[in-house]
Chain A
Amino acid sequence: MTNRNDLTARYLDAAAGQVPEPQREALRLELAERIADTMDAKQSTGASAESAEYDTLTELGHPAKLAADYLDRPLVLIGPRYYLLWRKLVRLVVPIAAGVAAGGAAIGALADDKSAGAVIGELWSTGVQVAVFVAAGITVVFAVFERTVPDGEMDPGSAWRPELLPEITTPTARAVRRDRVAEAVWLVVLGVFVAVLRPYSASDGSRHWVLDGGTWQWLQWALLAIIAAELVMAIVTLARGRWTWTHAGVGLALNAATIAVLVPPLLRGRVFDPAALRALDWADGPAQLGQGGHVTAILVVAVVALCAWDAVKGFLRAAKQSPAAAR
C-alpha cells in the first residue's frame, strides 16, 4: 500500500481499533493532540505539512504497539512471572499425558487386532496429538493469567523458601536415575507389546500377525522372562543410584540370553509364518525371511549388534564409575 492520504485519520483509526470501546475516544483525543503538536513543532522548523505528518507518524511507530503501551498490555505471551512454572508444567505433564494416551491407544488398537503398522501409527499419532493439545492448553491458561491477574497476586515465586531447594544429587546419580527411568518405561512398553502379540492363525484372516505359532509359543515366554529380568535390574540400579560390575555382568548374561533365544529360530527361518507373509501379499517374503534370506541376515546382525552394544555400555558405565577411575 502506497496511499499517503489521510495518514493521521488512518493512524487514529488503527490505534483506536486496538483498544476496548470505553477507552477508544480517550486514546483518540490524546493521540490527536500529540500528533498535531508534534507536527506543529516540525513545521515551525521548516518542514512541509506532508513530511511533518509522515515523520511524526513514523516516530509513533506501529499503532498496535502504541495501543498495547497505552493499555499496559503485555507484548509477550507469558512473562517472567509465570514462565518458570509454565516450563515446569509443560515438561512434567506433556510427556506423561502423551505417554499414557499413546499407551491406551496402542492397547485399544491391539485389542481390535490391528496390524503392527496400524498399532504403531495409532500410538504415534495419539501421542503427538495429546502432547500438542496439552501443551497448547497449559499455554492458554498461563497467557490468560498473564493478562488478567494483577501484579503481586498469585506470583508462583512468592512462596519460595530456601528449604525448598532440592537435595544435592551427584551428576552420576542423576544420570543413572534419568537413564534407568527411561529404560524401565521402555521395558514395560516392550513387555506389554510382547505379551499381547498373537501368532498368525490361518482360520482367522483378520489376524495379520506374521509370527509362527509353534515358535512363538515358547519364544514369547522366553522374551517376557528376559524383559522381566532387565526390569528388575533397572529398578535395582535405580534404587542404588550407581552402576556396578555385577550389573554389567548380569547385563551381559541377559544380552547373551536374548541372542540365544532369538538368533537360532531366526537363522532357521522359524520365527515368521510363511502363509502369513503370503497373506500380506509379500510373495518372496518366505524366502527373504527364511533360512539364508537377506532380511534374516539383516535381522540377525541387528539383534547381535544391539545386544553387544548394550552389554558393552554396561561395562563402560561401570568402568567410568569404579573407584580406580574416580581417583
Chain B
Amino acid sequence: MDPDHSQHLQELRRGTVALACLIRLRTPEYGYALLETLTADGIDVDANTLYPLLRRLEKQGLVSSEWNTDEARPRKFYTTSAAGTELAAVLTTDWDRLDASLRRLREGA
C-alpha cells in the first residue's frame, strides 16, 4: 500500500480500536481471543497495539481484569467497567454523528 495512505488510515483508525474493545468486552475476554475476534470482525489491530491499549484502558478504569486459573494456562480476562460502558456510548454517538457529517459533505459536493 502507498505509505502515505497507510499512515492516514492508521490515524483515522486510532480511536476506533479502543471503542471496539469497549464494545466487545461487555462479555469477559482474554487478550489473544479479543485480538482474533476483532480481526475476524474486520477491525485491523496489531498485537503490539492491542496489549498496551488494554493495559491503558485498565489503568484508566474503563475495563477491569481478573485472572482465570481454572485451566492449565492462567489467563487475564478483561471486562468493560461502568465508566467504560458510558464512554463507549459517548464515542458511538460521536461516530454516528461524524458518519452523518461525512455523508452530507460527500453528497453536498
Contacts and interface: CB of A to CB of B under 8 A. Distances in A.
Interface of A: 29-30, 33-34, 36-38, 41, 59-61, 69-70, 72
A34 B52 contact: no
B56 interface: yes
Given A29-B67, A69-B52, A41 B76 contact: no
A30 B48 contact: no
A70 B73 contact: no
Interface of B: 30-32, 36, 47-48, 51-52, 55-56, 59, 67, 73-76
Given A29-B74, A34-B31, A37-B32, 15 more contacts: A30-B31, A33-B75, A34-B47, A36-B73, A37-B30, A37-B31, A37-B73, A38-B47, A41-B36, A59-B47, A60-B48, A61-B48, A70-B52, A72-B56, A72-B59
A45 to B, nearest CB: 12
Q: Mostly helix, strand, loop or mixed at chain A's interface? A: helix
Contacts of A70: 52, 55
A72 B59 CA distance: 11
A29 B76 contact: yes
Nearest to A71: B55
B67 to A, nearest CB: 7
Q: Mostly helix, strand, loop or mixed at chain B's interface? A: helix
Given A29-B67, A30-B76, A70-B55, A41 B48 contact: no
A30 B73 CA distance: 11
Contact of A33 (B48, B59, B76): B76
A24 to B, nearest CB: 15
B32 A34 contact: yes
A14 B35 CA distance: 25
B76 A38 contact: no
A29 B75 CA distance: 8
Contacts of B30: 33, 37
A38 B33 CA distance: 10
A322 B51 CA distance: 67
